[in-house]
Structure 1
Amino acid sequence: MTAPLHAQDSAPVLAIRGAGLQRGDRELWSGLDLDVAHGEFIAVLGPSGSGKTTLLRSILGLQPLSSGSIRVDGRPAQRGDRRIGYVPQQRPLPPDTSMRARDLVALGVNGTRFGLPIPRRGDRARVDALLESAGASHYAERPVGLLSGGEQQRLRVGQALADDPVLLLCDEPLSGLDLANQRGITGIIDRQRRQGAGVLFVTHDINPILGLVDRILYIAGGRFVLGTPDEVLQSRVLTELYGTAVFVLRAGDRLVVVGAPDAEGAHAHEAADPSAGHSGAHA
């Protein structure tokens, strides 16, 4: 994909230099250098426990690096940075949650204020605009506990976009969603990317987003590889990364990765075009 013309020559929205992370006495990875340009979409792949989510936590200022540095839009990463939007994995809210859909999105608009959230002029219009962009206007007044998982996830994306973030971090945001909702969520995220936001998208299933991805950061066994999908999703590359035989097979218009250990256990995932549904292939 091509970054917006106005952003092509600007400094990276995310700059990671010499970064290392440890969990206890185990090194997850080290020596990571990564620039994310405005309008660039980077997918982060790898087995469970490889440090994908921990990387996002470090960018959010919630997890200190063991080495190196992270800068967002030219400034050090810090907790509560409104320049960053965060979309978590879809987890259904309890059915008895009475908060309206509108109220959930409004937390992204006024949720960081101290004291009571006294509405400001323009807040309602901003919430209405976010609901519309997320395709959620028609259920804005409904209790979120009565909404489907896909409807709830649209609200989380709307909430994450409240401040027009320059960097969007997505942590398995499509997990558990049907194909229609996967397309809807990726469409919202892609619109933000086209407006110049950088996207870092953690996923186990690259199928719904492959057509949007500029580069892949693949982390496994304390090592990583970074490149375009064609450069990374190769049997030779992944075999070298994992240190065990891994095969990237083509099945019609889909790529299936077979033999990649997951969580230092067994897992494989598919790589396909955005129109393909999820059908995990296990080694």
Structure 2
Amino acid sequence: MIIDTHLHVIDPVALDYPWLAGVPALNQAWPYATYELEARRSGISQSLHMEVDVAAEQIEDECNYVKTLAERPDSLISGAIASCRPEEPGFAAYLERQRQDSFIKGFRRVLHVVPDELSEQPLFRENIKRMSGSGLTFDLCVLPHQLPQAMALADLAPDVTFILDHCGVPDIKGEARQPWHDNVAGLAKRPNVMAKISGVVAYADPESWIAETLRPWVEHTISSFGWDRVVWGSDWPVCTLGGGLMPWVAATHALLEGVSPEEKAKLLSGNARRIWDL
């Protein structure tokens, strides 16, 4: 079975998502019930909810909302990666509140929508170091040219586990191998960084990609990080921009054809279970 480490639920009635106005294809409700049916049909047995960059004042409201979904009978959701603002003075108090909640497994601050220098600010870096010893992970959602900033953050807090989202967001449609290729390999040299095999269908040509289109990008990520440092994510509903959840799951199985059962199990569930104590 599969543990999905990257589910987004979008409920415009409950929460505000300012960024959705710029993405018409996603600017609607994407309820948990719709995901759940597809997920179960695809062999997904457990999910982590990934923050959806709600309005800043609603960050903790989103956590509470996701808990209500997790409390449903037989819910797939077993934890959440919460949004955060390490660039703000209130982060320290926020971190302490979230440390008390076992449902919260980690944090993410989307960095590809902000200036590159945000993560270089002293307060941002100080707050990332505050996470040491918390047991919480930090997802790195960056563009290929921002991977050096990701390396710097990983070096700042060697006791924090960082998760590289979406294979480093490669431009698959444009076949832009550099600087992505070398920067992913460089980030993988940091032993406290893991990689998430997710999102790539949204970066390929939605009309023509097949599993082999994705292979060089996925295989380079896995070979750079190794089988003990990779996890899998659906990136639902963003994956619908590239065909949807079930085609991505099918492509994943095609890409894993020939690997050992142990390696496959690590990527699809075992590593996630270990990293987030699921």
Q: TM-score range by the shorter chain?
A: 0.3 to 0.5
- Does 1 or 2 have the higher relative contact order (CA < 8 Å, sep 6+)? 1
Which one has a larger percent strand, Structure 1 or Structure 2? 1
Structure with a larger share of its residues in helix: 2
**The structure with more radius of gyration:** 1
* TM-score, normalised via structure 2 length: 0.36
